[in-house]
Amino acid sequence: MPLIPRYFDLLLLLIERRGEAVHRREIFDRVWSDAIVSESALSQAVRTIRLTLGDDSKEPRFIRTVSRHGYQFVFPELIEEPDVAASAAAPSAAPPVTEEPLEPGLRRATRIASRQWSRGSAGGALAGVAAGGVGGLILAAAPGSVAPIAIAPVLAVIGGGCGAIGGAGVGAGLAFAEAATRSQRALGLIGGGAIGGGIVGAVVEWLARWGLGALVGLDIDVGGALEGVVIGAATGLAFTVATLSTDDGVSVARGGKHLRAALITAACCGMAGLALTLAGHPLVGGTIHAIASAAHGSRATLAPLGRLIGEPDFGPISGAILAFGEGGVFGLGLALGLLRRQGSQ
């Protein structure tokens, strides 16, 4: 009978533990130890196994649902036959196989988060480099700009660093929350993204304010914590929506849905960046402009960008456009980096 390997592993686990009901948490840790999945993945797997075996969930002959616990294999007439080929090849009894203890949920969540932060960091870094580099080229080419072409690689480095740090924090928060909370996945993703983004944002905010004050004597209200919370929460919301109905219940997008999920994340992060700027909390570009305006003689002021779109200076319209673009590019890069985890499944 055709059955995909992961579903077969689930069936085998239930048969091996047929004397008891297997908890859902144990099933996830054993069958989906290398993937982040939602409750619907397990439900779909059980439905497929029942369909394959001709079982009925209302009057189960093979797999019984144990409410608020898990599943149990209940077919009584199970016969285990020795492997003839294996017995002939090895006449002596093989030593019993000792199973390793199950990995606790918290440890598993930490392991998955530690793997995902690097992918989120890479995606955010690439997005930051692209945004900073392109923005620098536009700034250098803007009418009346005194910024040299060398501003492009400088802004690319700054953008890449900020994107990498932000992507690492938000990515780790999303992965940890998704692995640790299955029944409340939406709240877990939004909260995990907000906490991860807020932590790294607070660290960056403290380092930036201390560095500006100690090195160049500037006392500027540099953001970070609040911006990280809002962008992280927006990313979690986008992932909740974009990966709600994926194949097999796995909380990643496949095929054409991959790009769709990334675009949804980009839109949510762009709107979050726009809302922050309108509320007086600029992202990286607006902060760079504030620093350049306070530092006399700086060529990194973004006033030419404002004049490029018809404003006398870097004003609310140019700031809003820049913030939406920053948030959108960051969300796009972060999502593409995190969604690469589907390749290992």
Taking only the tens of pLDDT, the chain with its 345 residues reads 788 888 999 999 999 888 889 998 888 888 887 766 777 888 888 999 998 888 888 888 899 999 888 999 998 877 777 766 555 555 544 444 444 444 445 666 666 666 677 888 898 899 989 998 998 888 888 888 888 888 889 889 988 998 899 988 898 888 787 767 656 778 888 998 999 999 998 998 888 888 877 776 777 778 888 999 999 999 999 888 877 543 333 344 444 567 888 889 999 999 999 999 999 888 888 888 888 888 776 777 888 888 888 888 888 898 899 999 999 999 999 888 887 654 443
Task: Report pLDDT for 157.
Answer: 92
pTM of the model: 0.67
CA–CA distance, 267 with 258 (Å, rounded to integer): 15
Task: Report pLDDT for 112.
Answer: 65
- C-alpha distances (whole Å) from 64 to each of 7, 53, 60, 81, 156 are 16, 13, 6, 24, 57
Question: What angle (nearest 5°) sits at the alpha carbon of residue 238, between those of residues 41 and 123?
Answer: 95
Through-space distance between the first and last CA atoms of the chain, rounded to whole angstroms:
22
Task: Report pLDDT for 83.
Answer: 67
Task: Report pLDDT for 329.
Answer: 94
The residue extents of the domains of the chain are 5-76, 105-344
Tokens 């599943």 sit on residue: 71
Fold (CATH) for 5-76: Arc Repressor Mutant, subunit A (1.10.10)
Contact predicate 132/121, CB 8 Å: no
Task: Report pLDDT for 274.
Answer: 93
Beta carbons within 8 Å of 254's beta carbon, 6+ residues apart: 246, 247, 342
Give the residue among 158, 150, 153 at the shortest CA–CA distance from 125.
158
Task: Report pLDDT for 65.
Answer: 92
Task: Report pLDDT for 140.
Answer: 84
Total residues belonging to the chain = 345
Task: Report pLDDT for 108.
Answer: 61
